[in-house]
Amino acid sequence: MKFKPSIKPYSGAAGGWGSLEATTRYVLDSKKTLSNLRNLLRVNKGRGFDCPGCAWGDDNHSTFSFCENGAKAVSWEATRKAVEPEFFHQHSVTTLRQQSDYFLEYQGRLTQPMRYNSVVDRYQPITWNEAFSLIASHINGLADPNQLELYTSGRASNESSYLYQLFGRMLGTNNFPDCSNMCHEASGVGLKQSIGVGKGTIHLEDFEKADAIFVFGQNPGTNHPRMLHSLRHAADRGAKIVSFNTLRERGLERFADPQNPIDMLTSKSGQISCAYFQPNLGGDMAAVRGMVKALLENHRLNIASDKPGLFDDAFIAEHCAGLDEYLAAVDATRWEHIVRQSGLSEIQLRQAAAIYQHAGRVICTWAMGITQHKHSVATVREITNLQLLFGQLGKPGAGLCPVRGHSNVQGNRTMGIDEKPPAKFLDNLAKHFNFTPPRVPGHNTVEALEAMLRGEVKVLLALGGNLAAAAPDTERTARALRCCDLTVHISTKLNRSHLITGKEALILPTLGRTELDMQASGSQFITVEDSFSMVHASEGVGKPISDEQRSETAIVAGIAHAVLGDEHLDWLELADDYHLIRDHIEATIPGFTHFNQRCDIPGGFYLGNAAAELRFSTPNGKANFSHAALPEFVIPHMNGQQAPFTLQTLRSHDQYNTTIYGLDDRYRGVYGQRDVLFIHPDDMSALGLNEGELVEIETLWNDGVIRKVSGFKLVSYAIPRGNLAAYYPETNPLVPLSSFGDETHTPTSKSIPVVIRRCEQTDSQRIA
Ligand SMILES: Nc1nc2c(c(=O)[nH]1)N[C@H]1C(S)=C(S)[C@@H](COP(=O)(O)OP(=O)(O)OC[C@H]3O[C@@H](n4cnc5c(=O)[nH]c(N)nc54)[C@H](O)[C@@H]3O)O[C@H]1N2
Ligand SMILES: Nc1nc2c(c(=O)[nH]1)N[C@H]1C(S)=C(S)[C@@H](COP(=O)(O)OP(=O)(O)OC[C@H]3O[C@@H](n4cnc5c(=O)[nH]c(N)nc54)[C@H](O)[C@@H]3O)O[C@H]1N2
Ligand SMILES: [Mo]
């Protein structure tokens, strides 16, 4: 990069000129400026294509709505740069492995199917038919279908993921590890236990009606920039926005709307949060418990003086179970425990409780700061408890809102990308397609990697994503992938997972969501589901860079056809016309009645959410309060010993997961570099270290394995003492594969027990 690394605290608001400037820089940097702009204009309009950025909902009232990071995602995909066979001829896989993730993706779009030749250590061109035959010969040679893993990343469309899961189940496996296992799994598991449905209960419009919005463990300024519009509008009309975030995040403090000319001309920026609390990593369950303790006290005081209590007694009596046990757990939790674990004072938590108490309608949102801990399910359920006490379900302007990551990760689950599929779903498949689906649960991501390490997996198929870089314990993950006989990646861009191969490996180049998808019956659209359970169509407009690229749906159909033939299903016919796939979806998944017709509804259609209508599909038919005790320690630790620091791994402003667009993190004031470690200035001086010095970070874990990265520059930051933050995926080597969430297997990417020491030099290469 041409920029000199620097640290410069950011003084502006999130959004604003900085955001527009950065957007245009990305658009102009790519060589296809005009069509990029045209693409941008079509994002989220008419049928157009769905923004491949995040899973936030679309506001159909605004005429021109895109965000800086959506613009980056679109122009990154629409580049004219191409990785041709000549590139692979020049570079061996071993030499490519020395390159950074940024370099790999920056080479451009994959254009032709490639097969790894281990003799010359290079990828070489192969035809589609040869690729499909190779896959078929491996899969048909398996002793057991469970020797296959089918990974999915959350950009895959409903149509391609539906075919993919059907293919796996017709083969006889439920091995569907996916990115969601590393992401919002705890939200699904926790919400299902509490309210019977693992999805959020609100509509986008509810942000216009809420009196207060509590944002837990989320950085929308970078990861869901369009959410800032909703927060800003809510704040402008007087709603209280309360943030719980370990770091001071600019987007949660102030926001100038880059699409509002008045804001831009007057440099006006709106305050977002009226209160900002910085809990310890993993401290949110304690924080919410503290709020409830304060609210319960006020509730009882009211009742003692013959005033109405605070809680919604009628709602609780009609819809909930487990109140007494929960209140007993709250009574049994001591303030000392709450304060120590949350890192917030009793006064602060009483303040937060007071804001909650005086708001009629409350939305709670959350993301990775809540879900990537050991006790994440308990934390999601604690947030739900708070909402249930006040009857914040089934009314406008109120509810639960896990803000999803990948643009179609929620849709993937709806389509059956699920290693533990509900029995009813399998029954529907069995009946409609007349086969016997497997009933034994399959592997999630961590279990899949462990099975690979044990030598039990022969073939890995990956529908998108970058498992090698996204999964924890980088070195063990690499070893796991190398244990496979065949690894196959359906991808748009070159990434690390292509370079850590099984004995054999294939790269299958696919069209992106922004591109025209022409099949035998004409141009195809696909569908996706956002965080608000809205399903809508998406149709690409850009001309593909190569005739050899195929759509994900066509590739999955091609693989299924080669492996299974067309005895059960005419796979290739389905790829010719996606309407036929949607007919099968309609016949097997509730909520998709008249699916094809409803794809024409602008803005899409709502799938429905039983809990939002106060119907609870839990075993007792009620919304269930949980009554877990606060864990004694929230950070996984070895032998009862607390580590001096807890590290969270998070995203910079210039990245999309493992895709690194650039080396800046503007709102946090970091430029031209990524190997930085955010630390409280007093922690730095207590260790005799100085700003800008390089350190190594080592995980304290209980298996004797040394997990260490070095060359991280110290940056003093507004973060509570004892807490650290650094970017993912550079720090993935520090997350032990065996450290995961209770009931979820989600790697504990936000609570890694570590020590730090001064060091002299950088790791030039972290992945062997
Ligand atoms: N531009 C862009 N957009 C994206 C992505 C991207 O990489 N780039 N990724 C997409 C995906 S897959 C996802 S899942 C989402 C991720 O969206 P986020 O969850 O916002 O992502 P992270 O960067 O992991 O940020 C975690 C935030 O939670 C805070 N935090 C961490 N631990 C704790 C804690 O214990 N308590 C509290 N209260 N706060 C905590 C961190 O300080 C940080 O602000 O974004 C999606 N959108
Ligand atoms: N330490 C740490 N680890 C984490 C996290 C963390 O916060 N900290 N976050 C976790 C989370 S929330 C998630 S969701 C996972 C993400 O895990 P993944 O979803 O596996 O990773 P991505 O980086 O999103 O995948 C990027 C690759 O997808 C391919 N791609 C892009 N667009 C398309 C497309 O349209 N079709 C196809 N077929 N391929 C495409 C490109 O080749 C690109 O290189 O990482 C997890 N890992
Ligand atoms: Mo995610």
Residue 257: closest CA among 28, 12, 24: 12
**For 214-263, how does the pLDDT look when each residue is reduced to its tens digit (9 = 90+)?**
999 999 999 998 898 899 899 999 999 999 999 999 888 877 666 665 66
CA-proximal residue: ligand 1, atom 31 (nearest) = 369
Mutate-to-test residue for ligand 2 from 72, 100, 161, 179, highest number of ligand atoms within 8 A of CB: 179
Domain 185-402 and domain 645-758 have a common topology:
no
182 CB under 6 A from ligand 2?
yes
CB 355 within 8 A of CB 617: no
* CA 722 from centroid of its chain's CA atoms: 26
Q: What is the dihedral of CA 175, 179, 182, 186, to 10 degrees?
A: -80
User: How far is CA 129 from its chain centroid?
Assistant: 34
Q: Which atom of ligand 2 is nearest to the CA of 512?
A: 35
The pick from 19, 54, 751 for probing ligand 1's pocket by mutation, whose C-beta has the most ligand atoms within 8 angstroms, reads: 54
Cα(171)–Cα(149) distance, integer angstroms: 12
Tens digits of per-residue pLDDT, 442-480? 999 999 999 999 999 999 999 999 999 999 999 999 999
DSSP string across 573-607: HHHH-HHHHHHHHHHHSTT-TTHHHHTTSTT-EE-
| Kind plus residue range of the DSSP H or E element containing 168 | helix 158-171
CA 744–ligand 3 middle distance (angstroms):
14
* pLDDT at residue 147, rounded to an integer: 98
User: How many angstroms separate the alpha carbon of residue 750 from the centre of ligand 1?
Assistant: 10
Q: Which ligand is nearest to the CA of 403?
A: 1
Residues with CB under 6 A from ligand 1: 53-54, 69, 183, 216-219, 222-224, 244-247, 249, 279, 281-282, 284, 367-369, 405-406, 648, 650-651, 655-657, 750
Q: Which ligand is nearest to the CA of 182?
A: 2
Q: Is 615:318 a contact under the CB 8 Å cutoff?
A: no
The predicted pLDDT at position 63 comes to 35
Residue with tokens 């216009």: 208
- Nearest ligand to the CA of 368 is 1
Give the pLDDT score at 36: 64
pLDDT, position 194:
98
What's the gap in Å between 466 CA and the centre of ligand 3? 12
Would you state the torsion angle of the CA atoms of residues 233, 239, 245, 251, taken in this order, to the nearest 10 degrees?
A: 20
502 to 87, 389, 507, 515, 552: CA distances (angstroms): 21, 52, 12, 30, 22
Question: Does the CB atom of residue 732 touch ligand 2 within 6 A?
Answer: yes
The residues spanned by each domain of the chain are 110-179+408-592, 185-402, 645-758
**In the prediction, which pLDDT does 10 show?**
72
Q: Whose CA is nearest to atom 14 of ligand 2?
A: 179
Pocket test for ligand 2, best of 657, 659, 724, 734 (most atoms within 8 A of CB): 657
pLDDT of residue 61: 45
Does 386 sit in the ligand 2 pocket, CB within 6 Å?
A: no
What is the per-residue pLDDT for 766? Answer: 43
For the domain 185-402, what is the CATH superfamily, name and number? Dimethylsulfoxide Reductase, domain 2 (3.40.228.10)
What is the fold, at CATH topology level, of the domain defined by 645-758?
Barwin-like endoglucanases (2.40.40)
Q: Is 649 in the pocket of ligand 2 (CB under 6 A)?
A: yes
Measured in angstroms, how far is the CA atom of residue 477 from the centroid of ligand 2? 15
Q: Please give the structure tokens belonging to residue 705.
A: 């394995």
Nearest to 408 by CA among 357, 463, 358, 359: 463
Q: For residue 311, what are its two tokens?
A: 């809680």
Tell me if 517 CB under 6 Å of ligand 2.
no
Does any ligand 2 atom lie closer than 6 A to the CB of residue 109? no
Question: Which of 466, 507, 674, 734 is the pocket-test mutation for ligand 2 (most atoms within 8 Å of CB)?
Answer: 466
C-alpha of residue 178 to centroid of ligand 2, in Å = 10
Does the beta carbon of 512 sit less than 6 angstroms from any atom of ligand 2? yes
Closest ligand 2 atom number to CA of residue 490: 38
Furthest C-alpha separation in the chain: 84
- Other CB atoms within a 10 A radius of the CB of residue 309 amount to 15
Alpha carbon of 187 to ligand 3 centroid (Å): 12
Atom of ligand 2 nearest to the CA of 104: 44
Report which of 416, 282, 386, 245 is spatially closest to residue 751, judged by C-alpha positions. 282
C-alpha 655 – ligand 3 centre gap (Å): 13
> Which protein residue has the closest C-alpha to ligand 1 atom 30?
369
| 650 alpha carbon – ligand 3 mean position (Å) | 11
**Residues across the chain:** 768
Question: Which residues fall inside 5 Å of ion ligand 3, going by CB?
Answer: 183, 405
Select from 532, 610, 201 the least CA-distant residue to 393. Answer: 201
Query: How far apart, in whole angstroms, are the C-alpha atoms of residue 163 and residue 578?
Result: 10
Q: What is the pLDDT of residue 65?
A: 52
508 phi and psi angles, rounded to 5 deg: -110, 115
**Contact present, 738 and 361 (Cβ < 8 Å):** no
**How far is the C-alpha of 239 from the C-alpha of 198, rounded, in Å?**
27
Ligand 1 midpoint to CA 473 (Å):
19
Angle subtended at Cα 205 by Cα 200 and Cα 210, rounded to the nearest 5 degrees: 80
Global confidence as pTM: 0.95
367 contacts 218 by C-beta, under 8 angstroms: yes
Query: What is the Å distance from ligand 3's center to 582 Cα?
Result: 26
pLDDT of 725 = 98
Q: Is 160 in the pocket of ligand 2 (CB under 6 A)?
A: no
**Helix axis angle, 346-357 to 284-304, nearest 10°:** 60
Contact 210, 354 (CB under 8 A): no
State in Å: Cα 417 to ligand 3 middle.
Answer: 15
- With a cut of 70, which residues of the chain have pLDDT below it? 1-3, 13, 15-46, 59-66, 256-269, 637-640, 761-768
CATH number of 110-179+408-592: 3.40.50.740
What b/e readout covers 78-103, taking b as 16+ CB neighbours within 10 angstroms? bbeebbbbebbeebebeebbebebbe
Ligand at minimal distance from the CA of 367 is 1
Angle formed by the axes of helices 335-342 and 284-304, nearest 10°: 150
Ligand 1 atom having least distance to the Cα of 219: 20
Could you tell me if the CB of 359 is within 6 A of ligand 2? no
Q: What is the distance in A from the centroid of ligand 3 to the CA of 185?
A: 10
Retrieve residue 341's tokens: 């674990």
Which listed ligand is nearest to 667 at the C-alpha?
A: 1
Q: How many CB atoms are closer than 10 A to CB 390?
A: 20
The closest ligand to the CA of 446 turns out to be 2
